[in-house]
Chains A and B, each alone.
Chain A
Amino acid sequence: MPEVIVPIGPHHPALKEPVNFRVIADGEKIVRLELDLSYNHRGIEKAAEQRDFIRVLPLLERVCGICSHSHSSAFAKGIEEIMQIEIPPRAQYIRTIIAELERMHSHLLWLGVAAHEIGFNTLFMWTWRDRELVQDTLEEMSGNRVHYGMNEVGGVRCDLTPHQVSTALERLPFLEERIYQYVDMVNDQQTLLLRFKGVGKLTREEVLKYGAVGPTARASGVDYDARRDDPYFVYTEVPWNVVTDTNGDVYGRTCVRIGELRESANIVRYCLENLPKGPVRVNAPKIAPEGEIFSRYEAPRGELAHFIRTNGTNKVERVDIRTPTLANWTSVAMCLVDQNLADIPVIVAAIDPCLSCTSRITLINTPGGKPGIVTFDELRKRGQTYCQEQGPP
């Protein structure tokens, strides 16, 4: 049978964010996937270069609406290392609590989305209902459901009150009971098993070759987690385990995420119970000395990296953000090969993609090879000429 190209996107009712897939299929089987990202470029890295260390954090939080704490933490801990300031233990604990609550809400959200992709909307409703409890806790602690604004260079912005700590501790047993329910559901629901097992398989070697990160890698038996292997905050003090699985398919990725939900609940409990007393921030200098840092952070979707270069002023010279989704795309393209067309949504959803975080600018060769600035009008004109040359579709 001849191969056909199935174009999906960049704007498509089934896509939550713009991305362009060109799926080359032979009958029902996928032969190859061609991807076109970056329809959502927002120029955040450039904007970050124009803001001082106080004003840059709210901007970086907005790289992602789900892992907002991850981005601000990765940046703050990098800058703190360049400035050589030690933040107080209480602040470290609070950062860890927020980070793990964020992981819980992200994984519950993911479980709902994955269930929704296979048409199992019952589970979607239940996980999202339970996620509200985590969101409420975050809102009470930080003042916002999404952009917590907890971090600042030198510590955290607000302290936790004893009432907040006790409310959060009261909510944990219920959440844990729910997580156990999900473990049961994932293991005995045929609806899930039939659509998850053996779908989108990646071997350990493939993961290492294509550089997948986070739950996608851990589900194929790669025992790597930045929280343990490049520790930050208080992960060395808290008893917890890296969750891995050997299935390597969407089912394996679900198991890893549910396992991480359990671990996160334990970490949050430990931190709340052992919250040290003391200040929550130190006064950070306004200016950072010249330096470079590669700050690693285990975001819910995998390893997030911020490369920061400072030049002795109160702004960064360059910040480069490598989001986990970017690292995971190649593995998606590889594991889609030979799968059914109908499995695309669930395989793509299995890496928990976050497209606008991933969008980066592309440098194109200009005639003469010189860098320059293209104005909006020029860009528009170029687009029009391009379309005219191409002719009607």
Chain B
Amino acid sequence: MSVLKEMFRNLLSKPFTILYPKEPVPIPDRFRGRVAIRDEKCIGCSKCSVVCSVQCISMVDSPKEIEFKDKILMRKKKPQLKLFRCIRCGLCERHCPTGAIYLKNELSDSGTDREVVVI
């Protein structure tokens, strides 16, 4: 009986599945998606590259003046990360002191090329 009841209920209800990619799939605000870097905020402290769980962040030369806590700092390096090595654990975002590196709430593409970088 319980199965019949449920069947009739389902007959009268809308389909549960979303016709992706025709219809968008709702993505929550906190979703850990593609990693991005706000270059103007990064002070080059290397914390993200130290905590990254798969060590996909390397620091590359990029001298620039950055304003941080009302002071002008001269940064020497900035992070560069291998996009498809990143497992989107979010550790870099959690430990970045300025919020320069963060995970967008949009789907991260997938791929096999390990050398694609995000600067």
A-side interface residues toward B, CB under 8 Å?
51, 54-55, 58-59, 122-123, 126, 129, 132, 136, 139-144, 147, 149, 152, 157-158, 181, 184-185, 188-189
Contact = CB atoms under 8 A, between A and B. Distances in A.
A185 B3 contact: yes
A54 B94 CA distance: 11
Interface residues of B, number: 21
Contacts of B91: 54-55, 58
B6 to A, nearest CB: 7
Nearest to B30: A143
B30 A126 contact: no
A144 B3 CA distance: 32
Nearest to B7: A122
Given A143-B90, A144-B31, A157-B90, 5 more contacts: A58-B53, A58-B89, A140-B28, A144-B32, A188-B2
Contacts of A185: 2-3, 6
Given A51-B53, A58-B53, A139 B2 contact: no
B88 interface: yes
B28 A58 contact: no
A143 B2 contact: no
B94 A157 contact: yes
Main secondary structure of the interface of B (DSSP, over half): loop
A189 B32 contact: no
A142 B95 CA distance: 16
B31 A126 contact: no
Nearest to B89: A58
Interface in B4-50: 6-7, 16, 28, 30-32
B103 interface: yes
Q: 4 closest Cβ contacts across the A-B interface? A: A58-B89, A143-B32, A184-B2, A58-B53
A136 B1 CA distance: 30
B2 A181 contact: yes
Given A54-B51, A58-B53, A157-B94, A126 B89 contact: no
Contacts of A181: 2, 6
A141 B29 CA distance: 10
A189 B31 contact: no
B87 interface: yes
28 contacts: A51-B53, A54-B95, A55-B51, A55-B91, A58-B53, A58-B87, A58-B89, A58-B91, A122-B3, A123-B3, A132-B16, A139-B31, A140-B28, A140-B30, A142-B30, A143-B30, A143-B32, A143-B103, A144-B32, A149-B89, A149-B90, A152-B94, A157-B90, A158-B30, A181-B6, A184-B2, A185-B2, A185-B3
Contacts of A59: 53
Contacts of B51: 54-55
Contacts of A58: 53, 87, 89, 91
Nearest to A139: B28
A253 B73 CA distance: 62
B3 A189 contact: yes
A157 B89 CA distance: 11
